Amino acid sequence: MATTGRAPKNVIGLEYNTAVVLAGTAALGLAAGSTGSLALLRRRALLADALSHATLPGICLAFLVTGTRHFPVLLLGAFATGVLGVLVVGAISRRGRIREDAAIGIVLGCFFGAGIALSGVIQRSGNGAQAGLDGFLLGRTAQMSISDDIWIGTVALGTVALVLALWKEWKLICFDPDFAGVEGWPVRRLDLLLMVLITVTVVIALPAVGVVLTAALLIIPPTAARLWTDRLGPMLVLASVFGMLSGAVGTAVSARSSDFPAGPVIVLSASTIFVLSFLVAPRRGIIARTTIRVRRRRRRERRRLLGAIYEGVEENGGRPVGEAELARRRAWRPGLLRSRLEHARRRGLIDWRSDGIALTPEGLVLATRTVRAERLWQEYLRTEARIDRDLIDLDAEEIGAILSPEQMQALENSLRARGRLPESPIRPGEPGRGGS
Amino acid sequence: MKRSRSPAAATEVGGAKGDAPAIEVHDLTVSYQAKPVLWDIDVEIPAGKLVGIVGPNGAGKSTLIRAILGLVRPASGWVRIHGESARRGRHGCGYVPQRESVDWEFPVDVRDVVLMGTYARLGWFRRPGKRERDLAMRCLEQVGIADLARRQIAELSGGQQQRVFLARALAQDAQVYLMDEPFSGVDAATETAIFEVLLALREEGRTVVVVHHDLQTVEEYFDHVLLLNLRLVAAGPIGTTFTRENLLATYGGRLTLLDEAAEAVRRGAEGRPGWRPPAGLPRT
């Protein structure tokens, strides 16, 4: 088979054979991405792993019985034992009251072990054709011919078409199968159909990706896609695109150097996409999450600083407050305080003069808000001793949202009576620059 | 997907539309792993009423609803919904499952979930269109969260999630509603909103069956009550059924619950509306 396209014709700059294989693996990635998304959401992903491992004995048996290496024949064998594996998982976990993950582990091990043993038998029999079977372990795209390709592509597209046609049905049984049952949908049959889709996808992926890693191609692209979106449609599209990309990149790399089996390279490509998504995805990515956290902490620190300056100026009767005094107020380390001050100055919040530090109008607005909320909260805690202060750390602004308007009014009145309520931005008692 | 639903189905049962029970349960026994969780239940649930199912934890309240809906297979007995076998009749039922029964991280938004209530009417392959989306929005308005329509469901509070399920059930436009603890773990505002929806459903002549765990509010909320503890202890109109003896029989020797039950009955006897815990406090 591999020999059909050996002539180095050039198709868009690629060897003819590579182009053929590329198209095949891309179609494969497409099918794996969309079916994998559903498998993942219906919690069938691990079952797919048991399934793919369970296909190995089928491939070997098909070869032993028929003596051919034709893909359709071998894949039929794969299909048979794959389905058997899934049925055994179901039987063990239902009948024997064993958890499904344990059942999956058992089946995966047994079937894969049997497959390896059978391939050992084939190897010892000295049949030269066994070389072709090795490819099924880790995938070997070089063996794919144009006819295999058309075949794989057709099945892959059929799979995608079914996923699209039954879109709302899949969505429903993945999200809430009980509700689907009440509504009269044949949940069990739809589940069965989904399992068939998964099986077909796994089986056609075997020649390219191999028994060991096929499940990864179903799991990784959808998981990466989920990081980018909160909606099912975009998730499926993205997963399919990621699957296609991995398939194409993996094939291209593995075609360049025969040292790399296609399966691992394809899965590594998918993993690379996943790692990148994990880092840079908006909102869910590590970088986005860290940025939000850092920004929030900076904001809190900035407010703390402004609050301290406000109080200092207030106590000084409106005169700017010195750096040393500020450091004493909040027990800041000198270096840390200085960097905070620099930061606040760059943002135009403070006025750092020779006689000390004062607030700019913008800084004053923020500081007033902060101190006001802080004091209201303290006033609240003063009267409500039942609250464990260690357990609740409210950001200043959140107080108004939590307490009732009446409570807020009472707190404000009580603070105002003692002259402790910072009113709308008036520089605390500073005569020179007041009136703003 | 065929839906043999309400008007036609109801008249089939016979002209006595008002008197025919919405749900009949006959000799129903259900077991999990060879232990019975419901024992020989015989009950008729009247149409057009607000019906509470009450009983201690593990009494089989949820199982009864799930058995009525054909989601668990009974060891014996049968269920009829508007005179039809459960498997057929349940298609006309609105269902509000327990909130914990689904994965709220699922990649859909609020409106998507509500639209699921229209799927059965759409049938195979057809996708919801503008009419369904409008309906979904009306249902969301009715439960007071129309502004959250495009929100990812993971971002909702518990009360909001419960309202989404209720809106989905409204979109089903069913004659019989079965709800599994819709009041559990929701804030006071949501509790009120949900109760108002239940009243509106009854107003329209629909039957609403609710698994309920808060004895304090039973009398206020329901017309009819089923007291359940493995067996059916009593069933009937609130006034004659929600009595001290029946509650004692239902809750058995559990002291704290017993006190609560006694308290509820005493209040009922004095004809006062029940004491409501202050907003935001969890119910016992």
- Of the candidates A166, A182, A229, the beta carbon closest to that of B93 is on A182
CA distance B267 to chain A (A): 31
Q: Which residues of B touch A229 (CB under 8 A)?
A: 107
CA distance B95 to chain A (A): 7
- Of the candidates B95, B106, B124, the beta carbon closest to that of A179 is on B95
Beta strand extents in chain B (DSSP E only)? 21-32, 35-46, 50-54, 76-81, 84-85, 93-96, 176-180, 207-212, 224-229, 231-237
**B35 forms bridges with which residues in the sheet?**
B32
Tens digit of each residue's pLDDT (9 = 90 or more) over B122-153: 999 999 999 999 999 999 999 999 999 999 99
Task: Tell me whether A232 touches chain B (CB under 8 Å).
Answer: yes
Q: Which residues of A touch B172 (CB under 8 A)?
A: 183
Q: Do A230 and B128 touch (CB under 8 A)?
A: no
With contact defined as beta carbons under 8 Å apart, do A404 and A365 qualify? no
Percent of chain B clearing pLDDT 70 (strictly above): 82
Q: Which amino acid is at A331?
A: A
Pairing of the two strands A350-353 and A14-15: unpaired
Tokens of A434: 């007041």
> Out of A410-419, B36-45, B227-236, which region has the weakest mean confidence (pLDDT)?
A410-419
| C-alpha A383, offset from chain centre | 46
Q: Which of A94, A163, A164, A179 to mutate to test the interface with B (most CBs of B within 10 A)?
A: A179
> Out of A257-271, A396-410, B59-73, B98-112, which region has the weakest mean confidence (pLDDT)?
A396-410
Q: Which residues of A touch B122 (CB under 8 A)?
A: 168
Task: Tell me whether A386 touches chain B (CB under 8 Å).
Answer: no
Q: If interface means Cβ-Cβ distance under 8 Å, which residues of chain B face chain A?
A: 1-3, 33, 66, 69-71, 90-91, 93, 95, 97, 101-103, 106-109, 112-113, 116, 119-120, 122, 124-125, 127-128, 152, 154, 168, 172
Q: Do B91 and A184 touch (CB under 8 A)?
A: yes
Q: Which residues of A touch B2 (CB under 8 A)?
A: 184
Helix H segments across A42-70? 45-66
| C-alpha A293, offset from chain centre | 19
On the 0-12 / 13-18 / 19+ scale of CB atoms within 10 A, B240 is exposed
Q: Which residues of B touch A165 (CB under 8 A)?
A: 125
Contacts 24+ apart (CB under 8 A), A422-425: A422/A310, A422/A368, A422/A371, A422/A372, A422/A375, A423/A368, A424/A368, A425/A361, A425/A364, A425/A365, A425/A368
Q: Which residues of B touch A232 (CB under 8 A)?
A: 107-108, 112
pLDDT band per the 50, 70, 90 thresholds, residue B245: confident
CA distances from A146 to A17, A25, A157 (A): 8, 12, 16
* CB within 8 Å of chain B, chain A residues 253-312: none
Q: Which residues of B touch A97 (CB under 8 A)?
A: 33
Q: Which of B87, B108, B164, B166 to mutate to test the interface with A (most CBs of A within 10 A)?
A: B108
Query: CA–CA separation, A29 vs A21, rounded Å?
Result: 12
Task: Tell me whether A182 touches chain B (CB under 8 Å).
Answer: yes
Q: Do A176 and B101 touch (CB under 8 A)?
A: yes
Q: Residue A351: enclosing H or E segment and its boundaries?
A: strand A350-353
Query: CA–CA separation, A187 vs A305, rounded Å?
Result: 60
Task: Tell me whether A185 touches chain B (CB under 8 Å).
Answer: yes
- Whose CA is closest to B276, among B202, B219, B196? B219
Query: CA–CA separation, A79 vs B116, rounded Å?
Result: 34
pLDDT of res. A409: 83
pLDDT of res. B266: 60
Query: In sequence order, what DSSP letters do the residues of A360-417 get, joined into one string?
Result: -HHHHHHHHHHHHHHHHHHHHHHH-TTS-TTT----TTHHHHHS-HHHHHHHHHHHHH
With contact defined as beta carbons under 8 Å apart, do B218 and B32 qualify? no
CA distance B49 to chain A (A): 21
Q: Do B106 and A185 touch (CB under 8 A)?
A: no
On the 0-12 / 13-18 / 19+ scale of CB atoms within 10 A, A265 is buried
Q: Do B120 and A184 touch (CB under 8 A)?
A: yes
Task: Report the half-sphere exposure of A278 (CA within 13 A, side-chain side).
Answer: 9
Q: Do A182 and B108 touch (CB under 8 A)?
A: no
For the beta sheet containing B35-46, the strands, ordered from the edge strand earlier in sequence to the opposite edge, are: B35-46, B21-32, B76-81, B84-85
pLDDT of res. A415: 85
A419 three-class SS? coil
| Higher pLDDT pick, A336 / B2 | A336
Q: Do A183 and B127 touch (CB under 8 A)?
A: no
Q: Do B125 and A165 touch (CB under 8 A)?
A: yes
Q: Taking residues B243-267, report their average pLDDT.
A: 70
Whether the pLDDT of residue B2 is over 60: the answer is no
pLDDT of res. A130: 56
Q: Which residues of A touch B109 (CB under 8 A)?
A: 230-231
**A15 forms bridges with which residues in the sheet?**
A10
Most confident of A353-362, B168-177, B268-277: B168-177
Q: Do B69 and A175 touch (CB under 8 A)?
A: no
Q: Do A175 and B116 touch (CB under 8 A)?
A: yes
Q: Do B109 and A230 touch (CB under 8 A)?
A: yes
Whether the pLDDT of residue B82 is over 90: the answer is no
Blockwise average pLDDT, block size 10, chain A, 436 residues: 44 66 85 94 92 94 86 90 94 85 94 92 70 77 75 88 94 95 92 94 89 93 95 94 91 77 90 96 91 88 87 83 82 82 88 85 86 82 66 61 77 84 60 38
3-state secondary structure string across A151-168: HHHHHHHHHHHHHHHCHH
CA distance A233 to chain B (A): 9
Q: Do B112 and A171 touch (CB under 8 A)?
A: yes
Q: Do B69 and A168 touch (CB under 8 A)?
A: no
Tokens of B256: 């704290």
Q: Which residue on chain A is closest to B118 by alpha carbon? A: A183
pLDDT of res. B274: 44
Q: Which of A34, A176, A183, A407 to mutate to test the interface with B (most CBs of B within 10 A)?
A: A183
Q: Do A182 and B90 touch (CB under 8 A)?
A: yes
pLDDT of res. A336: 83
pLDDT of res. A22: 81
Tokens of A174: 């993945």
pLDDT of res. B203: 93
pLDDT of res. B128: 94
Q: Which of A43, A44, A174, A182 to mutate to test the interface with B (most CBs of B within 10 A)?
A: A182
A97 three-class SS? coil
* Unique residue bearing structure tokens 């996943």: A274
Tokens of A205: 């992926």
Task: Tell me whether A418 touches chain B (CB under 8 Å).
Answer: no
pLDDT of res. B77: 92
- Of the candidates A181, A183, A229, the beta carbon closest to that of B119 is on A183
Q: Do B172 and A169 touch (CB under 8 A)?
A: no
Tens digit of each residue's pLDDT (9 = 90 or more) over B186-203: 888 889 999 999 999 999
pLDDT band per the 50, 70, 90 thresholds, residue B14: very low
